[in-house]
Amino acid sequence: MANDRRKGKKRQPGALAALAGRLAHAAAGPASRLLFPALVAVAALALFAWFRHAYYDRNPAFMVDPEGIVIHGNATLTREQVLQTFGLDHPVNGFALVRSDIVARLRRQSPLIKSVSMTFQPGRSLALRVDERTPLARLAKTSLPLVVDEEGVCFIYPRPRDAYPEIGGFDLPTDLMPGDRLPPQLHCMLRLIAAAASPDYHLPGSVERVFLLSDDADDGLAVTLRDGRKIDIAWPDMARERGASDAMLRRLANVGRALRSPALEGKQHFNAMAPNAVSVSD
């Protein structure tokens, strides 16, 4: 009898383990049935990614030679410059380029390029359409020969800068780099240059220079025309993103009429700091 009890005690842990195993298997059964489809889906995605890499990225049929790349819209940059900027001066895989987000990456690398789109036709060609920035003004006293477009983006232009008005003043940063934007409070100079060239506010002489007035009591700009005449014009709240543009444009229209007036011929200095009035002096 004692031996039977001892044998029973020895069998008890094994029976409990077997019972625990059966319970665990019963509990894991539904979970396994739910997890299996997810594992299959993950495996299928991994297999597809491997197939795509093996077939598309390594297939020589999808390689694009630089000679087969078509470029549109490059008015300033040469074909070679575009290819070098885009890293396309050697054979590349068209599908790899599409997935590498090359458009966004290259816009950051070349501020001269305002936008770019890419079309890849396997077995045919890779086409790039480039939209270059147009300079509106050149920056004074910066460490690099920078120009700026109407959006305030700074960049280096491969053509001479002297044809564009100069902007500057006490508040203009001197450490701007290609790709930087002018601070919003300085966009007033760009808007004045653009407006002065428009038919509605056309000045008889083209703008040579626009500087911020250094007097903190007045929000205004000092404008110099290429014929030497000077204009001081107020721009209320010009430190804001848009400023009081309408008020400035009304003053600019008044200045344009005064500059064209035969009675004021020979006058050299026009002051439009007061609203609805333009004073003149020799």
pTM above 0.75, yes or no: no
Instruction: Indicate the residue among 111, 132, 153 that finishes a domain.
Output: 132
| pLDDT single digits (tens) 60-119 | 667 778 888 888 998 888 888 888 877 778 887 776 666 556 666 665 667 888 888 878
Model confidence at 29, in pLDDT bands (50, 70, 90)? low
Q: Which has more confidence, 264 or 120?
A: 264
Task: Give the 3-state secondary structure of residue 58.
Answer: coil
| pLDDT single digits (tens) 187-241 | 888 888 988 888 777 777 789 999 988 655 557 889 999 989 999 988 776 655 5
Task: Provide the mean pLDDT of the chain.
Answer: 76
Residue 15 has pLDDT above 70, yes or no: no
Least confident of 19-28, 149-158, 167-176: 19-28
Cβ distance 107 to 115 under 8 Å?
Answer: yes
Q: Name 208's Cβ contacts closer than 8 Å, sequence gap at least 6.
A: 165, 166, 224, 225, 226
**Structural domain span for residue 266:** 137-281
pLDDT above 70 coverage of the chain, percent: 68
Q: Clarify whether residues 27 and 143 are in a common domain.
A: no
Q: Clarify whether residues 115 and 164 are in a common domain.
A: no
- Structure tokens belonging to residue 269: 């200095």
- Structure tokens belonging to residue 73: 């819209």
pLDDT of residue 245: 66
Q: Clarify whether residues 254 and 153 are in a common domain.
A: yes
Q: Clarify whether residues 86 and 168 are in a common domain.
A: no
Q: Clarify whether residues 72 and 168 are in a common domain.
A: no
Instruction: Indicate the residue among 58, 81, 98 that finishes a domain.
Output: 58
| 77-85 LR contacts (CB < 8 Å, sep 24+) | 77/112, 77/113, 77/130, 77/132, 77/158, 82/128, 82/130, 85/109, 85/110, 85/113
Which phi and psi (to 5°) does residue 66 adopt? -55, -35
- The C-alpha atoms of residue 274 and residue 220 are separated, in whole angstroms, by 11
